[in-house]
Amino acid sequence: MEQIWAPWRIKYIQMGKPEGCILCDKPGQNNDAQNYILYRGSKNFVIMNAYPYNPGHLMVAPYRHVASLDELTDDELHEHFNIVSRSVRLLRQVFTPGGFNIGVNMGKVAGAGIDEHIHTHIVPRWQGDTNFMPVISEVRVVPEALAETYGKLKGKF
């Protein structure tokens, strides 16, 4: 039997929930490369998902710690979705995906893993990017390392 390994996933599976809010903490650490922060706007930033569904899975989040879209100011909201749009344009140029899933999960029951800090997921999609692995064994194989994806995207905003 052929085996496909994704050893980086075990860290996520086994780790406890960290203290604090990673979407507040990561930008304050001023180590963008280590934290996979690709872009900093005045009110929002772009960070790569450390446990992506696909290569290029990005998240746009406000610096301010709020749980819901309706808590954002007009300026925060405008910049947020402007950055989402720019992210889509950039991902099209770099990865040429066939489509995107773009979504906001508000609240735990809606599937939010970080429910106290609103953020928008941008997931590039390709024809056939889902195979038997998620269906049979609940495992998704991401074919590119985070550092390689970061290198392709950093500085292109």
With bands split at pLDDT 50, 70 and 90, how would you rate the model's confidence at 127?
A: confident
Average pLDDT over residues 26-51: 96
AA identity, residue 75: D
Among residues 57, 80, 117, 119, the one annotated as catalytic is: 119
* Helices and strands in the chain, H and E counts: 6, 5
Q: What is the pTM of this model?
A: 0.81
Lowest-confidence pick of 12-26, 75-89, 114-128: 12-26
pLDDT for position 141: 54
pLDDT for position 135: 43
| Cα distances (Å, whole numbers) of residue 97 to 35, 124, 129 | 24, 6, 10
Q: What are the structural domains, with CATH classification, of the chain?
A: 18-153 (3.30.428.10)
With bands split at pLDDT 50, 70 and 90, how would you rate the model's confidence at 148?
A: confident
On average, the pLDDT of the chain sits at 86
Q: Is 80 in contact with 120 (CB distance < 8 Å)?
A: yes
Q: Cite the DSSP H helix spans in the chain.
A: 9-14, 22-28, 32-35, 74-95, 132-137, 146-153
119 is catalytic: yes
AA identity, residue 138: E
Give dist(CA 68, CA 116) in Å, integer. Answer: 8
